[in-house]
Amino acid sequence: MTLGEVWVGGAQGYTDVIGVTLGTGVGGGILTGGRLLEGARGLGGELGHYRTHALDGVDCTCGAKGCWERYAATTALVRAAQEENPAWKDGRAIFAAAEAGNETVLALLDAWTDEIAQGLAGMVHIFNPQLILIGGGVSAQQKLLIEPIAEKVKASVMPAFAEGWKFVPRSCTMTPGWWALCTTSGRRWKRSDLVMKKHILCLGDSNTHGYCADPNDCADHGIRFNEDERWTCRLQKALGEEYLVTEEGLSGRTTVFVDPLHESMDALSVAYALLKSHEVIDLLIIMLGTNDVKERFGANAACIGAGMERLLLKVKSVDCWGGKAPNILVVAPPCIKDGFHDAVMGAGCVEKSRGVAEQLRIVAERQGVHFMDAAECEFNEVDFMHLTCKGHARLAELLTAEVPKLV
């Protein structure tokens, strides 16, 4: 209900909203910081069971005492009215009597709006909303219901919370059946804030994970670049709030080659579960190939390209694209630099690495996916195969320029 008003109704443009429906009980929802308040188990926002008379209140159907809806629901008004006159059996009859000037009914309405306003005032102090929406069958009663509530809420809250508040009549902005109290202060949001972000999934190896081979190059002097340094995090920051950039980097990952020394290193065997766990994907960035040159795999550059092609065929087949065509960017990692030596990776890695980018370009073109060569992104002088902090920054710059063209 509240979220619907934010989408298409009277709360469009607001980030902090309390929506209350007065009826058989009291329902509604709370929007705070642009997000619907759900709580740990999805049970947040039970406004009717906010206990305004906890110590001496009447019994509630929930088993507690003094719940707000026992005092603020339309049924509470009807219950009190029928004790005075059985003919006042519903809201229509009660408000008709009030419009006719019946003092008993007017006193009942005054007490009822007191209860509503006191509950709202407590919520204002907790959530500091820009807007309070009041709905339900009785909400069309401006002079007898909404205006008294507005004045009482403003009088009951601390001055700083009431600053800028005004009454907004339905004829100005509100969906039929709603009235609102709003403030001119606070951030207004764009409709795009409620739209699913464009999801960029980055599938890679240790250079996507952010491994740092030189602790002196890392702000934290550890083995992983931090969130201000990794290319994935830099990309997120540069693209802004309309995008969601997700890291899926694993040190040692290959395209399709099964590693006899470490399990689950090939992207092919985990592709389905991995992609489905991150759907919907708007763009998949794959930067792999460095680990494929290891001597134990016995693969030359052409075989590594063939491995990437097999992986591309697999990821295209996974239903993770939200009904759209697969959108994939293959990034060729920089070549392993001269000076590299690792007995476990084995011989010939540097030479094979030099041919990988061209093979990946050929495969990307054949498969109709996007391609980018990251050759200019700097590898370190320690192990000669991992990005420096400067290299992460440059890769993020290149992708920041490229990604908006693709999504």
DSSP-assigned states of every residue in 183-242: ES-S-B--GGGGSPPEEEEEEESHHHHTB-S-GGGSTT-SSB--TTTSHHHHHHHHH-TT
Which residue shows structure tokens 């759900």? 38
Strand partners, 186: none
From first to last of the 407 residues of the chain, give the pLDDT tens digit: 677 777 767 677 788 888 888 888 998 889 888 888 888 888 888 999 999 999 999 999 999 999 999 999 999 999 999 999 999 999 899 999 999 999 999 999 999 999 999 999 999 999 998 888 888 888 778 889 888 998 899 899 998 887 766 555 443 344 444 445 565 555 554 444 446 789 999 999 999 999 999 999 999 999 999 999 999 999 999 999 899 999 999 999 999 999 999 999 999 999 999 999 999 999 999 999 999 999 999 999 999 999 999 999 999 999 999 999 999 999 999 999 999 999 999 999 999 999 999 999 999 999 999 999 999 999 999 999 999 999 999 999 999 999 999 99
131's tokens: 């807007």
The answer to whether the beta carbons of residues 200 and 232 sit under 8 Å apart is: no
> In this structure, are residues 265 and 291 in contact, taking their beta carbons and an 8 Å threshold?
yes
Furthest-apart CA atoms within the chain: distance in Å? 97
What is the distance between the alpha carbons of residues 22 and 138, in angstroms, rounded to a whole number? 7
Cβ atoms of 283 and 332 within 8 Å: the answer is no
Please report the domains of the chain, with CATH numbers, ordered by start residue: 2-188 (3.30.420.40), 196-406 (3.40.50.1110)
Please say whether the beta carbons of 210 and 165 come within 8 A.
no
389 and 217 Cβ atoms separated by less than 8 Å = yes
- 0.75 exceeded by pTM: no
Collapsed DSSP state (helix, strand, coil) of residue 380 = coil
Specify which residues 30 forms β-bridges with. Answer: 18
* CA distances in angstroms from 362 to 10, 73, 265, listed in the order given: 54, 69, 24
Spacing of C-alpha 62 from chain mean position:
32
Measured in whole angstroms, the distance separating CA 253 from the mean position of its chain's CA atoms is 29
